[in-house]
Structure 1
Amino acid sequence: MAPQYLDTAEGRRIAYHKTEGQGPCVVFLGGLKSDMEGTKALFLEDWAKARGQAFLRFDYSGHGESSGQFEEGCIGDWHADTLAAVDALTEGDIVPVGSSMGGWQALLLAKARAARIKGMVTIAAAPDFTEDGYWANFSAAQKAELDRHGRVELPSDYMEPYVVTKRMVENGRQNLVLRSNLILPFPVRCLQGTADTAVSTETALRLLDHATCEDMQLTLVKDADHRFSDEACLALIEKAVEEVCCGNAN
């Protein structure tokens, strides 16, 4: 099916698929350079349709079928896209499911729309990765290149090499969530593979330790990688979403 489109106040065109159903609306937030056609997003859409559950998946600007170029975007732009999609396309309670960079987006959404969130699920969440992953590990030469040319190219285990811009790093610093109070007044389920080479187990533990939350659980899955999309991992995602959706969280 062809996507529908949402025009945002910033002039961006966001592609999305919305499944009507009962609340809360599950909102899938994808990862960096990923799109809404990934295994986890489509799996959750099928799950939602089978249950009659409302569900939303969309592409950030510069991703998938939305407008813009990836290299022009940054964390703040994708946060604005997320807010636009949630505000315009959903009503009432929502359950964000954030994968990788989408986990950071889910946490930013919690800061902006906490009253609307019934629960949250993160999958290999990557909060603050522009600072702790990129900048902290750049060599002096890479930092100089970023300053001089405004961009540096990085290899990836999961996709073609991609460009990190000076704007992405500087804007990321304006959206960090692990350096100040992070209050999550709803159940949170975090899933993390121990064989993930993109997001470390230490990152998951840091988020667990840093957040203020009365019902937050971290599940570590031995040998699962960053994709976290084999049959067993998808079953864990389904279980976690059902817990926070249906009020079965402890």
Structure 2
Amino acid sequence: MTKLSVNINKIATLRNSRGGDMPNVLKVAKDVQKFGAHGVTVHPRPDERHIRYQDARELKEVVYTEYNIEGNPIKSFMDLVLEIRPTQVTLVPDGETAITSNAGWDTIKNKDFLTDVITEFKNNGIRTSVFVDPVEEMVEGAVATGTDRIELYTEAYAVAYGKGDVKGIEPFVKAAVRANALGLGINAGHDLSLDNIKFFKENIPGLLEVSIGHALIAESLYLGIENVVNLYLNKLQ
């Protein structure tokens, strides 16, 4: 089945809104794994407005499944990842003030930069993934960087599907087919939800992992986090 990695950034956002330590991000990480999630994802940003760098360090001690750290590979982020050595690092080209990720890498223009970063991480035993738009040229460019995987940026699919346009998945299918042919692993994330995940999973060949945070946490407000994790797992079979 496709693996589910739960992004717990929104748990940290809620904690930070009041100070203190409620809800506790370490406990939530433990719980989502206990409920069946295959991994935990965090995306620490330089301003630490949700997950803090110290959270990322402490999570290393409690994530016994797969630990995925996302972010823009500025020096402080690279130093953090090399210190922690998670299962996977996902490289995302978001600016320091970005509210959320909003585009994939231009893997052709940034080939040399990405190659250097990816080589450093892989030399330290960390699996690498590059955030890309569903464009075959960007998938081909990712191969040239030496990355292990790509993560398809799925906002466009989610928007189209929400409007009833199932053809919105077609660029993602083409990108996935190309990635499979080139030997790249495929992850996906951004705006995936209980409403749209099953159709995505059924149509993307070789989908290894999805990272879901905002929708999963929002859905859990009504349905409960243990229930929601298991609903995702059922749809990812």
TM-score (norm 2): 0.36
Higher-helix-fraction structure: 2
If the length of structure 1 is used for normalisation, what is the TM-score?
Answer: 0.34
* Higher RCO structure, 1 or 2 (CA under 8 Å, sep 6+): 2
